[in-house]
């Protein structure tokens, strides 16, 4: 713990990391159910992984590969989080087709307005379910910001979402759709000044 009450992710104990990882698991399950209802198909959320990234090192830790549709938010209220939904090109094609009710033939970078707005709206529903799950588990109200959409190399979105954090505990949940093993992933990172409060609420301070 630093003098100003900010807890560095690098100083978390194994038990504290596990408590936050389990919290992410509950929230991810809620988010996957909501996305599945919206798409009319099953969405599987893997068990979250917890990874610590130093300042500027998020892309090295997550190893982005290929173009993607990414939406990121800042989450405020009883705790502050950074939150990002990455949808792979294959995942975006399937989700876009299910949301629009017709096959998507354009590549991800074509920026077809209906296609991108449908995916952005899906991201709004996913983030609302995720932060609702976190809030319900720890008894706080969390509010996501307006979405920021990035299409193309994922590094840009990762830098925009997490780049100013001194270090970050990344809670990473891979998402799978029928026939699409890597449809996308959710990446959440509590801000350092919120870590002590979240851990206290979880009984892991």
The pLDDT tens digits for 65-95 are 778 899 999 999 989 999 999 999 889 888 9
User: What is the DSSP secondary-structure string of 49-71?
Assistant: EEEEEETT-HHHHH---SEEEEE
- pLDDT, residue 5, reads 54
SS3 of 120, please?
A: helix
The pLDDT tens digits for 1-11 are 443 456 788 78
| Assigned domain for 46 exists | yes
d(CA 125, CA 35): 7
Domain containing 189 equals 9-200
Q: Is the pLDDT of residue 114 over 70?
A: no
* In the chain, % of residues over pLDDT 90: 58
Which range is least confidently modeled, 26-35, 88-97, 108-117, 155-164? Answer: 108-117
Total domains, the chain: 1
| Assigned domain for 59 exists | yes
Residue 157 — very low, low, confident or very high, per pLDDT cuts 50/70/90? very high
Mean pLDDT of the chain: 88
Helix, strand, coil shares, percent, the chain, to 5 = 45, 30, 25
| Assigned domain for 33 exists | yes
**Average pLDDT for 178-196:** 91
**Average pLDDT for 140-160:** 92
| Assigned domain for 80 exists | yes
**Average pLDDT for 95-119:** 75
| Assigned domain for 205 exists | no
| Assigned domain for 3 exists | no
Write the CATH number for 183: 3.40.1550.10
């Amino acid at each position: 713990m630093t003098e100003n009450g900010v807890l560095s992710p690098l100083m978390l104990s194994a038990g504290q990391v596990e408590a936050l990882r389990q919290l992410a698991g509950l929230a991810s399950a809620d988010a996957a159910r909501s996305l599945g209802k919206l798409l009319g198909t099953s969405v599987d959320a893997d068990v979250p992984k917890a990874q610590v990234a130093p300042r500027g090192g998020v892309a090295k830790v997550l190893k982005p590969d290929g173009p993607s549709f990414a939406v990121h938010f800042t989450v405020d209220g009883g705790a502050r989080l950074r939150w990002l939904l990455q949808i792979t090109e294959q995942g975006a094609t399937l989700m876009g087709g299910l949301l629009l009710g017709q096959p998507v033939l354009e590549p991800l970078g074509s920026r077809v307005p209906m296609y991108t707005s449908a995916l952005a709206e899906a991201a709004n529903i996913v983030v609302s379910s995720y932060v609702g799950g976190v809030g319900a588990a720890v008894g706080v109200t969390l509010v996501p910001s307006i979405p920021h959409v990035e299409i193309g190399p994922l590094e840009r979105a990762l830098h925009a979402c997490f780049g100013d954090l001194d270090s970050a505990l990344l809670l990473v949940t891979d998402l799978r759709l029928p026939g699409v093993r890597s449809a996308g992933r959710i990446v959440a990172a509590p801000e350092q000044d919120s870590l002590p409060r979240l851990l206290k609420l979880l009984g892991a301070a």
